Amino acid sequence: MYSHALFGRCAFAALVLTLSGCASSPKDEGQEVTYSATPEETRQLASTTPLESGSLKLYMNGLSCPLCATNVDQQIDDLPGTSDVKVDLRTGIVTVRVEGAERPSPKQLAEAADQAGVTLVKIER
């Protein structure tokens, strides 16, 4: 009887991982937006200088499902100085407000995106 309970939990966990895993099983190929960046935009992402206050557009590659959107939202919202995070799955663009004494750097935003399983390609005002 104990083995059935354990098997049931393992099977449920495997089912959840299969249904929620966007990177391993894209639902519709060709729907994901892919961005490119200039060399200067790529260099900007390595900067550790805090960003100026204001609204930003973050262009993401790999942002293809609701789970990705939730992960990105949480990772960016956890950074000091960020608020009003909005994720648009259709365009792959995340808007965020940056303000306060402790503002994130481009590198911190890129690392947060990486932790969420997506790639920050460029930042615009």
Structure tokens at 10: 């393992």
Higher pLDDT, 35 or 25: 35
CB burial of 44-57 (b: ≥16 within 10 Å; e: otherwise) equals bbeeeebbeeeebe
- Per CATH, is 32-124 categorized as 3.30.70.100? yes
Looking at residue 22, what is its pLDDT? 56
Where are the chain's structural domains?
Answer: 32-124
Q: Residue 7's pLDDT band (boundaries 50, 70, 90)?
A: very low
Q: Per-residue pLDDT for 44 more than 60?
A: yes
Q: Report the alpha-carbon distance of residue 125 to residue 95 in Å, rounded.
A: 10
What's the whole-model pTM score? Answer: 0.77
